[in-house]
Amino acid sequence: MSNPQNPGGAGNHYHQGNRARGRGTVIASQGGNVSVSQTYANKVRTWTGWTILVFFVVDIAYFFYGKSAYTGREGDSGDLWRAGIALLLFVITVSLIRRWFRQRL
């Protein structure tokens, strides 16, 4: 049976079991070579979160710009272009949010 003092069992007196807590590392030496165990991966800093915030502010600003510049006249292609650009910004923002959530998992 295994216990915290001797994780290898009663017959294995030369086995040392160390468990890192939190983001620590374990260094163990039992009269021989040093064994270093690192269980967490270094995360690469991405700028997806900041990019989402910037695109969100641009979305809101462009929405209010499009709302104030709306003419409502038939055949006015400016309204259609503004609507298309607003939809494109929205799609980009949603795709960045999805990417950010995948990176966080």
Structure tokens at 58: 């641009």
Q: Which residues share a beta bridge with 47?
A: none
Instruction: Dump pLDDT digits (tens) for 42-83.
Output: 666 678 888 999 999 999 999 999 888 888 778 778 888 888
pLDDT for the residue 17? 61
- Phi and psi at 91, nearest 5°, equal -65, -40
First-to-last C-alpha distance (Å) of the chain = 36
86 and 62 Cβ atoms separated by less than 8 Å: yes
Average pLDDT for the chain: 75
Higher pLDDT, 50 or 8: 50
pLDDT for the residue 1? 47
Structure tokens at 95: 């795709």
